[in-house]
């Protein structure tokens, strides 16, 4: 067990070889292959200090995998409730870290209800994949790192699912006084919960999720993401599943790193839609990663 050792890593910042002015924050290099470990470590250590030894989460994959990894390292029990859309490959990876896995519902929202029910009936702490201030604080540390790695970007591009990563980034920008950074949020057309909410200026719940980028699959964003976003210059973008997948291939060609289509959503903007940026802008893309990537 690594009770005292920090589990998440300070990830590298890589300058693109193919696109001028573009930088990748390589969260795909985390031990759990995604940024999620940052918030999960923060959350688990907070509750572990209060004597908690059991956690139950709802997840489409990455949050559950990161929680399972942190749980294994800290020696606490983890249960993950996943929807039926979660791949058997991902389920096996979570189980391989010693966590219990239950399949419930057809979408993440239904799995989330089940996780809440279990938490109410047991002594386990419920862990949301994105809606918790402890998660946001953990994720925000990547911006602290960026401050030491680069000059302030003109533009930041990030994929949005439930909004936890976005909350962390915006909190990090505020804390480090990186004002004036334009934010482009990216989702696939079948999981456009932030896009629709931003357009309406209130939280909108989608009727369904229909995307290959299933780790973006939250029908409703956290309200905090919308309220924080109102303090920034936000551009919302939608891409197709095919474009998100193509971007992962182009990213692999450049970096030899494999990421999920959910990460490919953000990557698709500089690769496929460079007109989003001014010619001389310094652009930071969060390569948020993803564990659900099968080796060839």
Q: Same domain for 175 and 28? A: yes
Q: Are residues 97 and 60 in the same domain?
A: yes
Considering only the C-alpha atoms of the chain, give the largest distance between any 2 of them, rounded to a whole number of Å.
Answer: 56
**103 and 138 within one domain:** no
Number of Cα atoms under 13 Å in the Cβ half of residue 245: 7
Q: Which helix H or strand E contains 188, and what residues bound it?
A: strand 182-188
Q: Which residues sit opposite 237 in a β-bridge?
A: 186
State how far the Cα of 260 lies from the Cα of 290, in Å rounded to an integer: 5
DSSP per-residue letters across 207-233: S----S-GGG--SS--HHHHHHHTTS-
Side-chain half-sphere of 27: how many Cα atoms within 13 Å?
Answer: 34
Query: Are residues 225 and 156 both part of a single domain?
Result: yes
At 286 the three-state DSSP class reads strand
Containing structural domain, residue 61: 37-127
- Residue 2: predicted pLDDT: 63
In DSSP notation, 144-181 reads HHHHHHSSPPSEEEEE-SSSHHHHHHHHHHHHTT-TT-
Q: Which of 236, 232, 219 is nearest to 171 (CA)?
A: 232
| 204 & 173 share domain | yes
In order along its 296 residues, the chain shows pLDDT tens digits of: 667 789 999 999 999 999 999 999 999 999 999 999 999 999 999 999 999 999 999 987 899 999 999 999 999 999 999 989 888 999 999 999 999 999 999 888 889 999 999 999 998 999 999 999 999 999 999 999 999 999 999 999 999 999 999 999 999 999 999 999 999 999 999 999 999 999 999 999 998 888 887 776 788 999 999 999 999 999 999 999 999 999 999 999 999 999 999 999 999 999 999 998 998 999 999 999 999 887 76
> Which residues have a Cβ under 8 Å from the Cβ of 181 and sit 6 or more positions away?
152, 153, 154, 155, 156, 173, 232, 233
pLDDT of residue 17: 93
Does residue 1 sit within a domain?
Answer: no
* Structure confidence at residue 85 (pLDDT): 84
- The answer on 164 and 123 residing in a single domain is no
Same domain, 197 and 257: yes
Separation CA 84–CA 111 (nearest Å) = 9
What pLDDT score was predicted for residue 1?
61
pLDDT at residue number 109: 83
CA 264 to the chain's CA centroid: 12
Same domain, 238 and 151: yes
Closest among 107, 158, 165 to 132, alpha carbons compared = 165
Distance CA 81, CA 56 (A): 8
User: Number of H helices and number of E strands within the chain?
Assistant: 10, 10
Q: How far apart are CA 99 and CA 38, in angstroms?
A: 18
Let me know if residue 231 belongs to a domain. Answer: yes
In this prediction, residue 61 carries a pLDDT of 86
């Amino acid at each position: 067990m690594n009770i005292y050792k920090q589990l998440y890593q300070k990830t590298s910042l890589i300058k693109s070889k193919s696109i001028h002015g573009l930088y990748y924050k390589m969260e795909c290099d985390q031990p759990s292959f995604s940024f999620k470990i940052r918030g999960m470590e923060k959350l688990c250590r907070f509750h572990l200090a209060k004597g908690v030894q059991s956690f139950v989460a709802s997840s489409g994959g990455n949050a559950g995998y990161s929680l399972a990894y942190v749980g294994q390292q800290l020696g606490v029990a983890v249960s993950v409730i996943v929807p039926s859309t979660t791949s058997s490959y991902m389920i096996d990876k979570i189980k391989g870290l010693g966590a219990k896995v239950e399949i419930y519902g057809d979408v993440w929202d239904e799995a989330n209800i089940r996780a809440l029910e279990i938490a109410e009936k047991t002594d386990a702490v419920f862990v949301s994949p994105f809606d918790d201030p402890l998660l946001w604080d953990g994720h925000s540390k990547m911006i602290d790192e960026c401050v030491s790695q680069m000059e302030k970007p003109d533009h930041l591009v990030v994929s949005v699912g439930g909004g936890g990563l976005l909350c962390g980034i915006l909190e990090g920008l505020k804390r480090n006084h990186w004002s004036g950074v334009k934010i482009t949020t990216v989702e696939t057309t079948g999981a456009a919960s932030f896009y629709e909410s931003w357009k309406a200026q209130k939280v909108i719940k989608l009727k369904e999720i229909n995307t290959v980028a299933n780790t973006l699959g939250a029908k409703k964003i956290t309200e905090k993401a919308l309220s924080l976003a109102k303090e920034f210059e936000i551009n919302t973008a939608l891409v197709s599943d095919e474009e998100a997948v193509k971007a992962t291939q182009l990213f692999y060609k450049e970096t030899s790193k494999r990421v999920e289509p959910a990460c490919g959503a953000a990557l698709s903007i500089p690769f496929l839609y460079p007109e989003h940026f001014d010619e001389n802008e310094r652009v930071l893309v969060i390569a948020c990663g993803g564990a659900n990537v099968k080796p060839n």
